Structure 1
């Protein structure tokens, strides 16, 4: 047996689908696929992986040798020419420390891309539901206009028959003008919502003119405790943890820089005056008397501490936002359920009763107008409650990613049976 909520939702969505012109439609899975494939901001975030790979490759390279040529005494017969090949040898694990820093950069790039994907998915879901609500609002505005036109015809008939005052005809015309203005406003809002959704999918214009009938409701909110158990699995938390690892790696690299490098030189020297060639071998190393990289070590240590503080701040933010979003989601769905079960059916019944009574001469036209205004206001508040619930779900998915698995709780399934 269909529930009142199911009946109302089906009527709204079928009306929205019927009012849309035949053309290219766009489903939510298609919108998500297009966004992941074409969104330029996500593509830019994906480039960071290649950038990090280049930095990792560069970090593993050995220092280049140096070839030098030197002449002493520029006179031709007494000059001495020296050719030397020098190779710096990195000591103290500098190369390994650089590789560790670059490797942590690769992990951060991967996590940043995951976070961007979660954010984009939430934005698309939010924009899709906003466009779907705008489409439904347009259908409802057209319904209200049709209902008002019907009232105008009835009033005009009663005025012509001398059963009603001409003032009621004026009121009916004013109500019709307001309904027509509401339709134009709804058309503009739908166009704006369609354009916002198209932008997220990487298209400069909306290549679709309708959204297929889909569930307006975001579903039942999961328990906050269930989500909070997965905080350390979120991209935000893992990204903050990766920043700590990079801070530790940077500290290790700064400490390695305290040990000076050794440069080994080998070459040959030829004297024109003595007509003699000798081999040259040398070792050189800076003396760490003043600069032992102590400032950079201190700065790297403080950055590592800062990364830990930021990780704690991220965890606090995620937990707080999770509780707030779940609470908003739950409260909004209670309002949606109240409108589904009681308010909308009662408001619709009031309009039907007032309209029939006016046609039979039992009610004044003001009663019809009051009933229509109540229904229109209730529909608007109903869509606002749906928007609050959808925005809350988008915020949760922005943190935790796709919630399809988590949202299929027993309560959720029972509400959809």
Structure 2
């Protein structure tokens, strides 16, 4: 299993490095679900829970016991050898086996639900991280484009200054703007590196592994308002962490029944053969404990406490699901509105303003300060548009997680 995972990881790394197979968002999710070490640990817990259930389902959990004894018997001058052989089997007659099966079955369901819940969370994290990397790549491209324009502007202003057509004040302002653009490239590069590192960690890739991403940030399309209450109800029935909490309560209640039944004796039924003074003796045996002192008081108390805790956790989980869905819906709608604000003529108008301002500056109608201010506004608008689309993608991923779905949420439009 480990060899297969390592081979798959190596193949992904080589493919990404060679650029042969760019990484899409859904392929990134699939890789993370296959290679994430936390999922591997939860899967191991689920296998252990299934093994405990198989043990509980055994018709007889205790092995048969056999004993033998032999020794001489003396009576005057007569000497004989007595022999005794006994076999017994402990059996559960008061529902202990059924209660134990109920406990382990519910615990198996808990472990499998926790695994499913973590898969949902990981899928959401990967999609959000993927969107941040896409946004970081676009932002660094914008920053480099802006730096090129800023440097060209510095050279142009410096030439005008040499010709006596402008002032040192404008030259200094242009140089400051060039420095701001250079710093923006450095900041964008750092954010890109951080976003890539986060995505590599989720994918289980080695540090520094090159990743070539394919895909685009979501478009902000105006859609009908989401049915928040309908989504809440769907989440209450689909969220695997809530399923796990409910199955934990079922396991606790079954443990209470098991603790009560374990206070009852489990008799051992068997037979015994002995030979005394040449006579063969065959006896049936029945052995059981008398529940006088130990009636499993501790086990029953622990089980009752587990039920109380599980009930509180189910109630808390239901409140959390309702709140998370409502918050995710609100975040998605807000992100969609913010992204839509830049759609249509907003960005085109900002770009047109830069063109008009540049012509006005060349004609001497405005100064470099006004030109730089208009240019900075256009750059900020493009940057904020990318950030708004990234927030929209993260909000969609968060709503999918809040709904308990591994699949991406497409309800935003």
SS of the residue corresponding to residue 162 of structure 1 reads: coil
TM-score (normalizing by structure 1): 0.84
Deviation at 1:295, TM superposition (A): 4.0
Which is worse superposed, 288-297 or 361-370? 288-297
Alignment map for 1:12-23 (pairs within 5 Å) = 23=19
Is 1:266 the equivalent of 2:258? no
Aligned match of 2:251: 246
1:97-145 C-alpha deviation (Å, 9 max, x unpaired):
1111111122222211211110011001110001111111101101211
Please tell me whether the aligned partners of residues 235 and 400 of structure 1 are also in contact (alpha carbons under 8 angstroms).
no
Please tell me whether the aligned partners of residues 200 and 209 of structure 2 are also in contact (alpha carbons under 8 angstroms).
yes
Aligned match of 2:351: 348
Aligned match of 1:34: 31
Superposition RMSD in Å: 2.8
Structure 2 CA distance, aligned partners of 1:387 and 1:70?
80
Which is worse superposed, 136-145 or 204-213? 204-213
SS of the residue corresponding to residue 317 of structure 2 reads: helix
Deviation at 1:342, TM superposition (A): 5.5
Please tell me whether the aligned partners of residues 151 and 355 of structure 1 are also in contact (alpha carbons under 8 angstroms).
no
Structure 1 CA distance, aligned partners of 2:370 and 2:248?
65
Which runs of no fewer than 5 residues in structure 1 stay unpaired? 1-20, 413-417
Deviation at 1:78, TM superposition (A): 6.8
Structure 1 CA distance, aligned partners of 2:63 and 2:406?
51
Aligned match of 2:7: none
1:44-68 C-alpha deviation (Å, 9 max, x unpaired):
2222221111101111221101122
Distance 1:129 1:284, change over 3 A: same
Please tell me whether the aligned partners of residues 122 and 398 of structure 1 are also in contact (alpha carbons under 8 angstroms).
yes
Deviation at 1:305, TM superposition (A): 3.6
Structure 1 CA distance, aligned partners of 2:313 and 2:92?
33
Which is worse superposed, 109-118 or 274-283? 274-283
1:53-100 C-alpha deviation (Å, 9 max, x unpaired):
11011112211011223456799x676443221211112111111111
Alignment map for 1:103-252 (pairs within 5 Å) = 103-205=105-207, 207-217=209-219, 222-230=226-234, 231-252=236-257
Which runs of no fewer than 5 residues in structure 2 stay unpaired? 1-16
Structure 2 CA distance, aligned partners of 1:378 and 1:235?
40
Please tell me whether the aligned partners of residues 26 and 210 of structure 1 are also in contact (alpha carbons under 8 angstroms).
yes
Is 1:316 the equivalent of 2:324? no
Structure 1 CA distance, aligned partners of 2:356 and 2:406?
43
Please tell me whether the aligned partners of residues 265 and 282 of structure 1 are also in contact (alpha carbons under 8 angstroms).
yes
TM-score (normalizing by structure 2): 0.85
Please tell me whether the aligned partners of residues 220 and 339 of structure 2 are also in contact (alpha carbons under 8 angstroms).
no
Please tell me whether the aligned partners of residues 400 and 408 of structure 2 are also in contact (alpha carbons under 8 angstroms).
no
Distance 1:40 1:395, change over 3 A: same
1:302-339 C-alpha deviation (Å, 9 max, x unpaired):
42243223212111111011111211221222122113
SS of the residue corresponding to residue 229 of structure 1 reads: helix
1:149-196 C-alpha deviation (Å, 9 max, x unpaired):
221122122112210113322332232222122212212221221121
Aligned match of 1:336: 339
SS of the residue corresponding to residue 252 of structure 2 reads: helix
Aligned match of 1:10: none
Deviation at 1:42, TM superposition (A): 1.6
SS of the residue corresponding to residue 212 of structure 1 reads: coil
Query: How many pairs are equivalent?
Result: 388
Please tell me whether the aligned partners of residues 396 and 410 of structure 2 are also in contact (alpha carbons under 8 angstroms).
no
SS of the residue corresponding to residue 166 of structure 2 reads: coil
